[in-house]
Amino acid sequence: MSCLALSLCAGHLFSRPYPLRGYQYTGLRDIEICIQQLEFTSLCPMTGLPDFGRIIIDYVPDKKLVELKSLKFYLLQYRNVGIFYEHVVNQILEHLIGAVESKRMKITGDFTARGGITPRVSATFEK
C-alpha cells in the first residue's frame, strides 16, 4: 500500500478528526522549537498490535507556531490507526507543514524495540 493510500486510510479512521491549529509568531529572530510526545501509540497494520514510541518535532517557525493542545489531540488520534512507522512520521510531517508555516521541520519517531530491533525514523522539510 502506498504512503498516499495509507494517508487517506488513516484520515478516514479518525472517528472525529481533530485539526492541527497554529497561531501567529511575531518574533524578530529565528527560534528552534523541540516538542516531544513521549507516549505515542499507533497500531501495527500487519498484526493489529499496539506500537509505542516517542515523536519528536523540531522546527523553526516562520509565521505560525503549532498550538500544543491541538497537537496533543491530533497525535492521540493515531492510537487506533494501523500504519507503518515510516508512513506515520511522513504523514505527521505533511499535516504539520499544512497547519504551521515553518522554515524547517524534522519529525523523528523513536519506536520501542520489537525482536531486539529499535527503529528510529526521521522525515525533514526545508523551505
Verify whether residue 9 is a known catalytic residue. Answer: no
Print the domain residue range for 93: 3-126
Tally the domains of the chain: 1
Q: How confident is the model at residue 8 (pLDDT cuts 50, 70, 90)?
A: very low
Q: Half-sphere exposure of 17 toward its Cβ, with a 13 Å CA cutoff?
A: 10
What phi and psi, each to the nearest 5 degrees, are found at residue 92? -60, -45
* Strands 120-126, 102-111: pairing kind: antiparallel
For a pLDDT cut of 70, what percent of the chain falls above it?
87
pLDDT at 126: 96
Residue 120 has pLDDT above 90, yes or no: yes
CATH number, domain with residue 40: 3.30.1130.10
Verify whether residue 51 is a known catalytic residue. Answer: yes
Q: Could you read off the pLDDT of 14-71 as tens digits, one per residue? A: 666 778 999 999 999 999 999 999 999 999 999 999 999 999 999 999 999 999 999 9
Instruction: Please state, as a whole number, how many other Cβ atoms lie within 10 Å of the Cβ of residue 118.
Output: 11
User: How is residue 112 annotated by DSSP?
Assistant: P
Among 9, 44, 58, 62, the active-site one is 44
Among 51, 58, 62, 110, the active-site one is 51
Tell me the C-alpha distance between 124 and 90, whole Å. 9
pLDDT at 26: 92
Alpha carbon 120 to chain centroid distance? 13
For a pLDDT cut of 90, what percent of the chain falls above it?
80
